[in-house]
A = this chain, B = another copy of it.
Amino acid sequence: MPSHEFQAHDHSHCVSDAMNAALVHCEKNGLKFTPVRQRVFEILLSEHKAMGAYDILEILAKEGMGSQPPVVYRALDFLGTHGFVHKIEKLNAFVACEHPGSDHDPAFMICRSCTKVVEMNGSPNSEISSAAKSMGFEVEAIVVEAEGLCPTCQDTE
């Protein structure tokens, strides 16, 4: 059983790796990684969970960084456009990307018990792509979200 983010791990590495990758990517591409954007990213990095835009906004507001919805939606739009966060459609919520730097179609596992959200390794989407292609459909983006129980929560049920 490979280790992964559902299990206990040194999460400070997740945070620093992702933040560093984002800083480097913005630097290289002349993107403005402004304080609000950076703070929203930090908030999403703090746990492997999806957060609603309004949950994030509440934190920002307490810190005096903006109190209106557009503030957080604009930051999320920036972060999503550049691949730093993903939207979880099933939850109408957002999660920090775990594979920074690589352009990828993410696929997620959502634990309904502990609410953690983890990206699958690799891109297990080739079967879907080829099923679509065999019907003549040209895929541009794929949403893959598996809901269920993570290893830890299976044990405690």
User: Chain A interface (Cβ within 8 Å of chain B)?
Assistant: 1-2, 4, 6, 89-90, 107, 109, 111-112, 118, 120-122, 124-132, 134-151, 154
**Between-chain CB contacts (< 8 Å), 17 pairs:** A1-B135, A4-B135, A6-B137, A109-B132, A111-B137, A120-B128, A120-B131, A120-B132, A132-B148, A137-B148, A137-B150, A138-B148, A139-B147, A140-B148, A142-B147, A143-B143, A143-B147
Copies in the complex: 2
- A149: nearest chain-B partner, CB-CB: B138
Instruction: Tell me, in angstroms, the Cα distance from A150 to B90 when the chains sit together.
Output: 24
Shortest A109–chain B CB gap in Å is: 5
- The interface residues of chain A, by DSSP majority, are classed as mixed
Instruction: Tell me, in angstroms, the Cα distance from A147 to B134 when the chains sit together.
Output: 15
Given A135-B151, A138-B148, A150-B137; A89-B124 close (CB under 8 Å): no
Instruction: Tell me, in angstroms, the Cα distance from A38 to B132 when the chains sit together.
Output: 31
List the 7 closest pairs (A to B, CB-CB), nearest first: A136-B151, A124-B131, A89-B89, A127-B127, A140-B148, A143-B145, A139-B148
- Among the interface residues A1, A89, A131, A134, which one has the most CB atoms of the partner chain B within 10 A? A131
